[in-house]
Chains A and B, each alone.
Chain A
């Protein structure tokens, strides 16, 4: 059974804090993704990685960075959290970077920045 796990389901942080969101997949996928989901806006891609130590900016990378030191783990970092980063964060992985192979999602992390 395929699995993508995220380090926290709910997180409350203060403005200016550094925030780490971790994602682990057990499917040996090359490609991993970080999205944020806000009501009415669907899923917006923040960053993706197609290999270890490789990363590509998505549509909304500002204020975020990522790290992929191991194939199974993809971390999203908010260097200095701001209230407009309050959102649901979803991690996904797949065999391919496009859509022809299923993207498998983690349960999401709901982040509140006060």
Chain B
């Protein structure tokens, strides 16, 4: 079956750096996405990696290693507004194209 694992909760301090990991076991993999969701809000797209390596967008970076079936989201210079849940999602082509979602990681930021 298809599965993704990410930590349920991560705590960090304002101004620090935090890494949220995502490991996956899927067939037909072709990309890894990250979404952010604030409490009461809708998920919003952060990044997409199809190739190995690091993609940087401002304070956020996303990494993929296809050989290790592993990726992470790196958040730098944490701000209180970054307190949210972060979801990794894997794009697969099985019988059809799909996006399979992890259970989400709640990021708690302390002053």
Q: How far is the CA of A90 from the CA of B87 in the complex (A)?
A: 15
Q: Is the CB of B98 within 8 A of A97?
A: yes
Which residues of A, 71-100, contact B by the 8 Å Cβ criterion? 90, 96-100
Q: Is the CB of A45 within 8 A of B98?
A: yes
SS of B interface (majority): strand
Q: Closest residue to B95 on the A side, CB-wise?
A: A56
Residues on B with C-beta less than 8 A from A44 are 101
Q: Is the CB of B98 within 8 A of A106?
A: no
Q: Is the CB of B43 within 8 A of A98?
A: no
Q: How far is the CA of A44 from the CA of B103 in the complex (A)?
A: 9
Residues on B with C-beta less than 8 A from A106 are 42
* Given known A-B contacts A97-B97, A100-B31, A105 and B44 have beta carbons under 8 A apart: yes
Q: How far is the CA of A77 from the CA of B104 in the complex (A)?
A: 26
The residues of A with any CB-CB pair to B shorter than 8 Å are 35, 40-45, 56, 90, 96-100, 102-108
The residues of B with any CB-CB pair to A shorter than 8 Å are 8, 30-33, 35, 41-45, 48, 50, 87, 89-93, 96-99, 101-104
26 contacts between A and B (CB under 8 A): A35-B101, A41-B103, A42-B101, A42-B104, A43-B43, A90-B42, A90-B43, A96-B97, A97-B98, A98-B30, A98-B31, A98-B91, A98-B98, A98-B99, A99-B32, A99-B89, A99-B90, A99-B91, A100-B30, A100-B50, A103-B35, A103-B45, A104-B45, A105-B44, A106-B42, A107-B42
